[in-house]
Structure 1
Amino acid sequence: MAEFEKMKYEWNENLTSDEWDGFLSQFHGHPLQSTKWGDAKKLSCGIHDHRWIAFKNGTPYFMARFEERWLFKLLKIAWIPKGPVILDKHYESTLHKEFLSRLKKRGFFLCATNPWEKIEFMDKINSAFHTIWLDLTIKKEKLWENLHKKCRSDIKRAKKLGVLIEKSKSLDDLNLFYQVCESISKSKGFSLSTSLQLMSYLLSSDHDQVESYLFVARHEGHFCGGAFLMRCGESVHYLWGAVNRDFAHLCIGEALQWEIIEWAISKNCKKYDLEGISAKQNGGVDKFKKKLGGTVIAYPSIQIYPLHTGRKIIICLTKIYLFLQPKMTRVCRQLLTRSEKRG
């Protein structure tokens, strides 16, 4: 307890957007922790957020951009996507205690985090999420060699067939890309975790250290597909991607990914996060990402911190809510689609 009192930090809730994103990129945070992402969510979804940072002797040690969410429309929770960023691991427990104590005083019922950090040793592999990281610090030739043989031949084939890949800020291209994403989500029955408005805002505003990019593929004047990325400092993140099935034979996905890798290298980026694979790691998307030659990484599942009594009940209710939410969304989408068809 004496150490806890001694290590009190100075908390700041009023950094400018540039200051926040500058620290975030400097300390290798995730773009979902950026002001750019928070502002986009507020404008597109009306979600209010806060940005708290803890300093000691002028040096930041803890950063958390958290969103106000509501559990059953009654209880206020603090949701920290891909965070927090903890820079003083030795006093991680102290920082967490101070942070949670501040949340409780502000009327929050619980806090849920989704840390973006590699798990070195796992006792329970089922309790973790998985993704693939590509190490961009190795030579370009080595990255090419690490691609699956079929992937390399597909990239060459796409180029030979005249597939063109380019970055675009065009709203027309963004609309076409979103339409392809939406079409695929409906045909495969999954919820599309974005909106055209969110993408549009992300693409239209940039910070020196947090940027968004849309890579598009064309063939003989036709829009074939695209990939939406965010860069935060020295890391690149693949958020959304989609290919029009009519052009799947042109190896569009492979061509897009290699162009992205080459571009990331030119920007002196060190890591490319493909942002998720399934737990079984055997689906079509999983296999596609694996053939890019990266390393499968595990990171913690959602962590829940009740701020009041009844810890077990709160955790149970929260898990039920998180489990049902995507299912309810999917059912609503299906009912809406059926209604539209009848109309």
Structure 2
Amino acid sequence: MMNEGDVLLRHDEGRGVRAENGAFALQCDEARPDPAWDAFIGSTPGGDLTQTTAWATARQQIGVKAYCVQMRNAQGRLIGGCIIQARRLAPGMWVGIVPRGPVLATSEPGAAHALLQAIRREARQRGIGVLVVQPPEAAGLVEAKIVAEGYRPGCPSIAPEATLRLDLRRSDADLLEGMSAMRRRNIRKALRTGFAIAPEKDVDLFHRLHVATARRQEFRPVTLQDLHAQADALGPLGLCTALIARQGGEPIAGLWLTRFRGTVTFKLAGWDANAAARTNVNEALQWQAIQWARAQGADTYDFGGFDRRYAERILRQEPLGEKFTQTHSNFKLQFGGQLILLPRARFSATWPAVQPLLGPIGEHLLAGAWARRLAHRIRTASSTAVL
């Protein structure tokens, strides 16, 4: 006997999985370019680039499996779904991640339950044993239902848990006024230095700069293959670009930016600290990125992540401590803007019998250093490497 919101999954030859319960129809296929789906994500509150088939295409080029779950109501209108990215941990062991998803554009009774049930069942049928989801921004209904469905906290994030944003509808004078005195001074010095900053399509050049930063700061850089995949899949759609700063023709530093839903987001940075005339180039790049974003019609510039621990302290007006001055988040905070807390990741086993056993054991394992490294490897460019 089926309860409200339960779904009956059907396998259709050549069409993936369909599910229906009288109120909703669900379809799951391997992700392929789908402009209609991407337009739905772009028009739905909380929709994020990582939930588009364009992003899925970039992930597939580096060996990540990607599946698109879509849900329609009785009238056939697309009302929700998600992109599941899957990666093999070991033979027969797969983990699936849903950054900034699932997305739901309805409050119809049973819709969230039907969608989450279908996602878990479809993941299980695809051999995915553990699902990690990180809900969209301001998706209270979905987030609450994820908790009610038994998804547990304690796993590494697969998207930023906080961020800092600038409102680009403000004038340059207003933006500068909102910055720290040091940041304003450095930007004005940089403007007098004469850096030539412009979008460039040389992915290999940006990667060399990015690797230089990774070596200096001792983190794992995004691979060249990954950047080429993003450039190939997102670049022609105007969804990503690299800004390169040069002086006297010599490349000094660069930023990797994405654009979606009126927001330009800073994703990655690269900086050759050994290059000549490097003073204030980082500030110059960020200021030019802000100008470029506005020229593209964006109304928001997102710094691509902010340490949530410090974000919470700032919002509570608590002391930050001396260590904060040496952090990437402090570099960003000096530009002003608004701090935003975002939903955190939760995880669940896809097999009901395993879920009770996964609890404390899973939280312990997923809190380990290996799990954090794995999460970084899976999400790759969802992380931000700062100057």
Q: Same fold (TM over 0.5)?
A: yes
* CA distance 1:60–1:292, shift in 2 (3 Å): farther
- AA of the residue aligned to 2:131: C
* CA distance 1:70–1:313, shift in 2 (3 Å): farther
- Cα offset for 1:205? 4.1
- Cα offset for 1:188? 2.1
1:30-75 CA-partner distances (Å, limit 9, x unpaired): 22222232222222x2111111221222432223111122344432
- Cα offset for 1:246? 3.2
The separation in 2 between residues aligned to 1:177 and 1:244, in whole angstroms, is 10
The separation in 1 between residues aligned to 2:80 and 2:271, in whole angstroms, is 39
* CA distance 1:104–1:201, shift in 2 (3 Å): closer
Which of 229, 235, 251 is the matching residue for 2:280?
Answer: 251
Q: Is the 8 A contact 2:32 2:53 kept in 1?
A: no
> Residues 117-266 of structure 1: matches in 2 within 5 Å?
117-118=137-138, 129-169=161-201, 171=202, 174-192=203-221, 194-206=222-234, 211-246=239-274, 249-266=278-295
* CA distance 1:310–1:270, shift in 2 (3 Å): same
The separation in 1 between residues aligned to 2:59 and 2:154, in whole angstroms, is 30
Which of 71, 80, 84 is the matching residue for 2:98?
Answer: 80
Which of 65, 69, 93 is the matching residue for 2:83?
Answer: 65
Give identity over the alignment, percent.
20
1:25 maps to: 42
Are residues 1:55 and 2:72 paired? yes
- AA of the residue aligned to 1:134: L
**TM-score normalised according to structure 1 size:** 0.81
Q: Is the 8 A contact 1:76 1:107 kept in 2?
A: yes
- AA of the residue aligned to 1:300: P
Which of 1, 4, 7 is the matching residue for 1:2?
Answer: 4
Q: Is the 8 A contact 1:209 1:232 kept in 2?
A: no
* CA distance 1:314–1:95, shift in 2 (3 Å): same
Q: Is the 8 A contact 2:154 2:346 kept in 1?
A: no
* CA distance 1:37–1:206, shift in 2 (3 Å): closer
Q: As a proportion of its length, which structure holds more helix?
A: 1
1:111 maps to: 131
The separation in 2 between residues aligned to 1:82 and 1:317, in whole angstroms, is 22
Are residues 1:299 and 2:342 paired? yes
* CA distance 1:126–1:157, shift in 2 (3 Å): farther
Unmatched runs of 5 consecutive residues or more in structure 2 = 7-20, 144-152, 311-323, 375-387
1:172-200 CA-partner distances (Å, limit 9, x unpaired): xx3232122212222322222x2112212
The separation in 2 between residues aligned to 1:206 and 1:288, in whole angstroms, is 28
Over the aligned positions, Cα root-mean-square deviation in angstroms equals 3.1
- Find the residue that maps to 1:292 and give its secondary structure: coil
| Bigger relative contact order (CA 8 A; separation at least 6) | 1
The separation in 2 between residues aligned to 1:112 and 1:126, in whole angstroms, is 11
Which of 285, 303, 312 is the matching residue for 2:328?
Answer: 285
* CA distance 1:189–1:313, shift in 2 (3 Å): farther
- Find the residue that maps to 1:203 and give its secondary structure: helix
- Cα offset for 1:287? 0.8
* CA distance 1:118–1:138, shift in 2 (3 Å): farther
Which of 54, 60, 70 is the matching residue for 1:36?
Answer: 54
- Find the residue that maps to 1:325 and give its secondary structure: helix
1:320-339 CA-partner distances (Å, limit 9, x unpaired): 2563336778xxxxxxxxxx
Q: Is the 8 A contact 2:165 2:337 kept in 1?
A: yes
Larger deviation, residues 70-79 vs 196-205 = 70-79
* CA distance 1:328–1:34, shift in 2 (3 Å): closer
* CA distance 1:48–1:102, shift in 2 (3 Å): closer
Q: Is the 8 A contact 2:163 2:306 kept in 1?
A: yes
Task: Give the length in aligned residue pairs.
Answer: 322
- AA of the residue aligned to 2:87: R
- Cα offset for 1:152? 1.8
- AA of the residue aligned to 1:190: F
The separation in 2 between residues aligned to 1:230 and 1:275, in whole angstroms, is 10
1:333 maps to: none
**TM-score normalised according to structure 2 size:** 0.73
- Find the residue that maps to 1:109 and give its secondary structure: strand
Are residues 1:324 and 2:382 paired? no
- Cα offset for 1:319? 5.4
The separation in 1 between residues aligned to 2:367 and 2:34, in whole angstroms, is 30
